[in-house]
Amino acid sequence: MVIIMSDDTIAETSMARVDARRRWLGLLSVLLGQFMLVIDGTVVNVALPVIQADLHLTGPRLTWVTSSYLIAFGGLLLLFGRLGDLVGRRRIFMFGLGLFTLASAACGLASSAEMLIVARFIQGVGAAGASSVVLAIIATEFPQPKDRTRAMSGYMFVSIAGGSFGLLVGGALTQAIDWHWIFLINVPIGLVTIPLCRAVLRETPAQGLGRGVDVGGAILVTAAAMTAIYALVALPDHGWASSKVAVPGLAAIALLVAFFVLESRLANPLMPLRILRIRSLIGSSIVRGFLVMGIYAVFFFGVLDLSHTLGLGPLHIGMAFLPQTTIIAVLSLGPSARLVQRFGALRVLLAGLTVLAIALLTFAVRDPAAPYWPGRFLSYALVGLGAGSSFLPLLTIAMSEVPPRDAGLGSAIVNLSLQLSAAVDLAVLAAIAAHRSNALVADHVPVRAATISGYHVAYAAAACGVAIGAVVAVSLLRPRPDGIARLG
């Protein structure tokens, strides 16, 4: 049989192939930008001691190198996410990347603490702009479940593995050259990514500003997020009862209440309250908070643990995370997506959370004198398996029911839940570890042993948190017949 194709059919097929190529190149450009943002989140951590010595920073001033970034980043996510829906997500993404690249250059050239802290704040503003719309761009560019799952796999790899890669790069650059280069390395990445985005990334339909802009809501939600994050950043050093924590914490609650009251009365609010009725988005954000507790316990206490128990330097600490990073990379190349398509997002999520909880328990019960191989190696591998199996289902669930008109805001909520969860979880885990260590020191246990015991208790608490996340997922999430999970 000979099949004859008309000229119109051939033209349509050709156009479809060109569009598919453009979409995947667009995904590449978005993931390059996301990669730059993610590694910056961890690359700074291993360089902090060197920055402190070079710029003669006291402990409180050193924290502002990180805190200024986090306050701007978390505080502006919702605002930029909604602006993406109103004025165009491509426009907001490229603005964020451009500002982040310029601020990175300023950080790399900083010769004083004040200049570095201000540049880090501007970096946070740029990161908020770019990060807020990433998931929305992916969700709208890939409406088909199979393609979207593959695209989300790439996002998952960049978002999780990029953190481990940042530790490795940060240690290598700080040891081999100078701490300034952990920021300057962003500049060539940005100079490549921005023109690529301009060439291949399509602008999404924007709702426009014709019905006005909710300026009051923008001010209230930004102020609420910034003051809440400020309180969480100050919590580990000052405690719940301190005025430096209680005052901004109460102010954040008051601002948030005022924000929701205002939004409920406006015809064109910054955050339509209908978004809160999308239970797949809000429910998955709750589960993500418990998942992040496990991930950040490994990132934060893992670095300290390897340093204090095995005496590893920055470069070797980064290398110690390679089993975790490698397994996440392998899963993101296709296996995780195929598992979601075959078994459904909820089942894969529960399996991943279970493996992650077991991995955390192995950290909690390990003998401090145990070498890296094979026990610690296997624990990091289990973390990679658990995290690599959990994040993709959560992303699939989160964006599965968000309407296209609200995709930017939905994307921002996903990222904000990640940032706030990280801040809250680290504050809680640090308080638990400190309480355990202080109690042991009071009983005349050597400081080093007491500190390591505090780490172990924090790991156990994180394992419990991940287990609670699994219970919440079972309680709130259920699969649809097409294999994409949603909330009932």
pLDDT in tens, 59-70: 556 767 877 887
pLDDT at 59: 57
Cα 99 to Cα 246: distance, rounded to the nearest angstrom: 33
* Residue with more model confidence, 165 or 350: 350
87-91's contacts with Cβ under 8 Å and 24+ in sequence apart are 87/206, 87/208, 87/209, 88/203, 88/204, 88/206, 89/133, 89/136, 89/137, 89/140, 89/203, 89/204, 89/407, 89/408, 90/137, 90/197, 90/201, 90/202, 90/203, 90/204, 91/203
Q: What is the mean pLDDT of residues 230-247?
A: 74
Which segments of the chain belong to CATH 1.20.1250.20?
Answer: 21-213, 272-488
Q: pLDDT category, 180, cuts 50, 70, 90?
A: confident
The alpha carbon of residue 159 and the mean position of all alpha carbons in its chain are separated, in whole angstroms, by: 6
Q: What is the mean pLDDT of residues 381-401?
A: 86
Q: pLDDT category, 102, cuts 50, 70, 90?
A: very high
Q: pLDDT category, 483, cuts 50, 70, 90?
A: very low
pLDDT at 305: 81
Rounded to two decimals, the pTM is 0.74
Burial of 21 (0-12, 13-18, 19+ CB in 10 A): exposed
362 pLDDT more than 90: yes
The alpha carbon of residue 383 and the mean position of all alpha carbons in its chain are separated, in whole angstroms, by: 16
Q: pLDDT category, 485, cuts 50, 70, 90?
A: very low
Q: pLDDT category, 488, cuts 50, 70, 90?
A: very low
386 pLDDT more than 90: yes
- The pLDDT tens digits of the residues spanning 73-98 come to 877 887 888 788 788 888 899 999 99
266 pLDDT more than 90: no
* Best-predicted range by mean pLDDT (197-206, 277-286, 410-419): 277-286
> In 3D, which of 394, 349, 357 has the Cα closest to residue 379?
357
466 pLDDT more than 80: yes
The number of residues making up the chain comes to 488
- Percent of the chain at pLDDT > 70 equals 87
pLDDT at 161: 67
What is the fold, at CATH topology level, of the domain defined by 272-488?
Answer: Growth Hormone; Chain: A; (1.20.1250)
314 pLDDT more than 80: no
Q: pLDDT category, 486, cuts 50, 70, 90?
A: very low
* Residue with more model confidence, 146 or 128: 128
Q: Residue 366: left if φ>0, alpha if ψ -120 to 50, beta else—which one?
A: beta
pLDDT at 182: 85
Q: What is the mean pLDDT of residues 36-55?
A: 77
Q: What is the dihedral of CA 222, 225, 229, 232, to 10 degrees?
A: 150
Q: pLDDT category, 358, cuts 50, 70, 90?
A: very high
pLDDT at 385: 92
482 pLDDT more than 60: no
Q: What is the mean pLDDT of residues 106-123?
A: 89
Q: What is the mean pLDDT of residues 305-310?
A: 80
Q: Residue 367: left if φ>0, alpha if ψ -120 to 50, beta else—which one?
A: beta
Instruction: Give CATH superfamily name and number for 21-213.
Output: MFS general substrate transporter like domains (1.20.1250.20)
Q: What is the mean pLDDT of the chain?
A: 80
- With a CB cutoff of 8 Å and minimum separation 6, the contacts of 422 are 292, 296
* Residue with more model confidence, 382 or 180: 382
445 pLDDT more than 90: no
Q: pLDDT category, 149, cuts 50, 70, 90?
A: confident
Q: What is the mean pLDDT of residues 339-367?
A: 91
Q: What is the dihedral of CA 93, 99, 102, 107, to 10 degrees?
A: -110
Q: pLDDT category, 487, cuts 50, 70, 90?
A: very low
Cα 295 to Cα 387: distance, rounded to the nearest angstrom: 7
* Lowest mean pLDDT across 19-28, 90-99, 443-452: 19-28
352 pLDDT more than 70: yes
